[in-house]
Structures are given as structure tokens and as C-alpha cells.
Amino acid sequence: MSGRFGARLAEAVAARGALCAGVDPHPGLLAAWGLPADPGGLERFALTATEVLAERVAVVKPQSAFFEAYGARGIAVLERVVASARQGGALVLLDVKRGDIGSTMAAYAAAYLAEGTLGADAVTVSPYLGFEALTPALEAGKGAFVLARTSNPEGAAVQTARLADGRTVAQSIVDAAAERNADAAPLGDVGVVVGATVDPAELDLSRLHGPVLAPGFGAQGATVADLRRVFGPGLPGVLPASSREILRHGPDPVALREAVRRTQAILET
């Protein structure tokens, strides 16, 4: 797909709504679907889910770790998921959370943001070796969602720490992303990841001018009220992410489609 990620994301959300649906082949979900925790079960789960989701949501988010756990055969399934999601018309946000320096970061960008079999429209990245170390991914012409303020308790010790200028580490990441997005229209390519359950007083997102991936909606406990409390009414630029709350309704494709429809309807109320 051609064009800058921020513009394509805005178009996709306008057409299909803001829901970001995850493909997380967790062993517990495979078992709930009556599938074995092996490459065959992985393939049936992931492709069934992707075929349903990709025709209905703006963004499909495969969690790479659950594919990597099966080695080369799992990566081969992930390649098919990326292709299937694209065929269904969804943007692909590959949840890899990579972060490194120099040529290593450039190699990650080549793996996940180039036009190869794993090439996605966007990836998640970790800035904790320095925000500027992410430059190869940020300048790849695709999208990058930078971990800023995650909802896991362990993250707070680093993310809410104060810098010499008084800002939190998380706010400095948001501000660095905002600088990258300053001249883009309608949205920049650099988003941030902010959990849907965090304290809204912690971050100023007003100058971000880019998307926000908001995990925690659904199975992790966050509600639409939480989303609006954290991100404001209308949820401008926010992609609420839901994975297991939708996927638990499989393997019946009809039940999966209905779960997507209900989730989208809840977000629109």
C-alpha cells in the first residue's frame, strides 16, 4: 500500500472505525478453540481469526511472540497472516516491540517495515535504548508505535521517573513523537502506546498529532468510559486494542463476526 502511514490510517479509521483487533495465538485460546498447541493448531487459529477480522476492522495486530514460539513454522504462519490481513483490506500493525541501536535497529526495520513477507504497515517499538536509536524504524516511511506509558505495574518505575527538566520519561517520549509528527497531515506516522487504564493526569497528548494505541480494552478490564476518561471525548486518533475479548468467541466465524460488531458498536456509543 502506498502513501504515508498516518494518512492511510486516518482513511481506514474513517471507513471502518477505530478498533484495532489483535491476533494473539495464546496457548489457552488454542485450547479453548479445541486446537493443539502446535504449528497446525496455530495456523488454523490465526488464519481463521485473520480472515474474519481483516474484512471488518481498520487495523489487525498480530502478536509476533506467539508465532515466534513455534520457530520457523510459526514465522511462516505469521507471513500468511500478514498477507491475509492485507487481502482483507486491513492495515497490519505487527506487535514486535523491538528496540536496539545502529545496524541492528536498521535490520529490524528491514525485517518488519520493508516490502518483504513480514513487511507490515506499522510496528510497535521500545525506546529505552534512546528515542533517537529508533530512527531507522521512524524513517522507514511506515508507522511506528513507541511504548510510552504502558499499563503493566512494572512499567511505572521507569516510565513515571522524572527527568532533570521535570517531565516524566513517558512524557518525553510523547514529546519526541510529537516533534516527528509536526508537519504531517492529517496524522503523523509516529504513534505512542498508552494503556487504557493509566491516570489521565500523567500525560499531555495534545501536541502528539499522531495515533495512540490503547491496549487494555476488553479482557484487561478497560471500558469505553475508561478510554474517554484517559483520552477525552471522541477519542481522536485513539486505536482501542482488543484481542482475547474478541478471539474467545471462536472458532465459529459467525460468533467472531458478531463479537467484532458488538465491540465496534460499544466504541461508537
Q: Going residue by residue through the chain (269 aa), what tens digit of pLDDT does each one get?
A: 468 999 999 999 999 999 999 999 999 999 999 999 999 999 999 999 999 999 999 999 999 999 999 999 999 999 999 999 999 999 999 999 999 999 999 999 999 999 999 999 999 999 999 999 999 999 999 999 999 999 889 999 999 999 999 999 999 999 999 999 998 989 999 999 999 988 989 999 999 999 999 998 876 678 888 899 899 877 789 999 999 999 999 999 999 999 999 999 999 88
**List 4, 16, 80, 97, catalytic entry:** 97
Could you tell me which of 166, 161, 152, 164 has the C-alpha nearest to residue 128? 161
Alpha-carbon gap, residue 5 to 19, rounded angstroms: 16
Active site residue 97: yes
Residue 148: CA atoms inside 13 Å, Cβ hemisphere, count? 32
Could you tell me which of 239, 229, 181 has the C-alpha nearest to residue 207? 181
pLDDT the model gives residue 219: 64
Could you tell me which of 26, 4, 16, 12 has the C-alpha nearest to residue 245? 26
Amino acid at the residue 116: G
Phi, psi of 108 (to 5 degrees): -60, -40
pLDDT the model gives residue 3: 85
pLDDT the model gives residue 220: 66
**CB within 8 A of 237, min separation 6: which ones?**
187, 208, 210, 211, 212
E strand or H helix at 264: helix 253-268
Q: What is the DSSP letter of 132?
A: G
C-alpha distances out from residue 33 to 45, 46, 69, 124, 251, Å = 8, 11, 19, 28, 6
User: E strands along the chain, which residues?
Assistant: 20-23, 59-62, 91-98, 122-125, 143-149, 190-194, 212-214, 238-242
Could you tell me which of 45, 101, 87, 60 has the C-alpha nearest to residue 213? 60
Biggest CA–CA distance in the chain, Å, is 54
Region 5-268: CATH code: 3.20.20.70
User: Which triple of cell numbers denotes residue 115?
Assistant: 516490502
Residue 234 burial (C-beta neighbours within 10 Å; 0-12, 13-18, 19+): exposed
First to last CA, the chain: 31
Percent of the chain with pLDDT over 90: 87
**CB within 8 A of 234, min separation 6: which ones?**
none
pTM passes above 0.85: yes
**CB within 8 A of 106, min separation 6: which ones?**
136
